[in-house]
Structure formats: C-alpha cells, structure tokens
Amino acid sequence: MSLEKELSADGTTLTIILDDKFDFGKVQDFREAYTSGSEGVTKIVVDLANTEYMDSSALGMLLNMQKTLQGQVSEFHIINSRPPVAKILQISRFDKKFTIK
C-alpha cells in the first residue's frame, strides 16, 4: 500500500491515509491524491496512523498541498501521528499551519 484516499459521502472531506514511510518516493502519489477528483472538497485530513518515518520532503509535500489548495480548501488536518512523527511536526512548527490531532 502506498497510500489510500477516501472521500466523505457529501464530497467535502478528503482523507489521505499514508503507509509506514512518508518520503520523497510518495511525491507523485500524494500529489495525485489531493488533485484528482477533489472538486468540492473543503477539508483535507492526512492520516499518519501507519507512518513510522517522515522526512523533510514529506514536510514540503504537505506545505505544497496547502499552497496548491489554498483558495479551495479551508481546513487542513493531520491526525493520528505516532510519537516520532509528532515530534518532527512539532519541531517544524506545523501546528501553526495545520490542525494536528
């Protein structure tokens, strides 16, 4: 599994579920997940429950997603971060740009 995406029944929430590694190898799949069929989406949730490793390119992908969808999406959430990943997000001050749960 590279990543999965789920669209809510009303089509307003897109959830992207990553696997164990969120790194440069996911660039194409991640971009495709939030650009393909995302018309009407106002909230994006990135689920990191399975993610054990995240590098700086993953941080860049998250920022690029936010920048790309800025006018369309009003809420960006990162959920279920494991402690090592949560620490990276905290050190990088991603809590200032994303809602982290």
Q: Report pLDDT for 39.
A: 87
The mean pLDDT of the chain is: 95
- Comparing CA positions, the residue from 32, 54, 55, 33 lying closest to residue 45 is 33
* Ranges of residues in the chain whose predicted pLDDT is under 70: 1
Q: Report pLDDT for 73.
A: 95
Q: Report pLDDT for 55.
A: 94
How far is 19 from 47, CA to CA, in rounded Å?
Answer: 9
Domain count, the chain: 1
The residue range of the domain holding 93 is 3-100
Q: What is the CATH number of the domain that holds 12?
A: 3.30.750.24
Reported pTM: 0.94
Tens of pLDDT, residue by residue over 26-54, are: 999 999 999 998 889 999 999 999 999 99
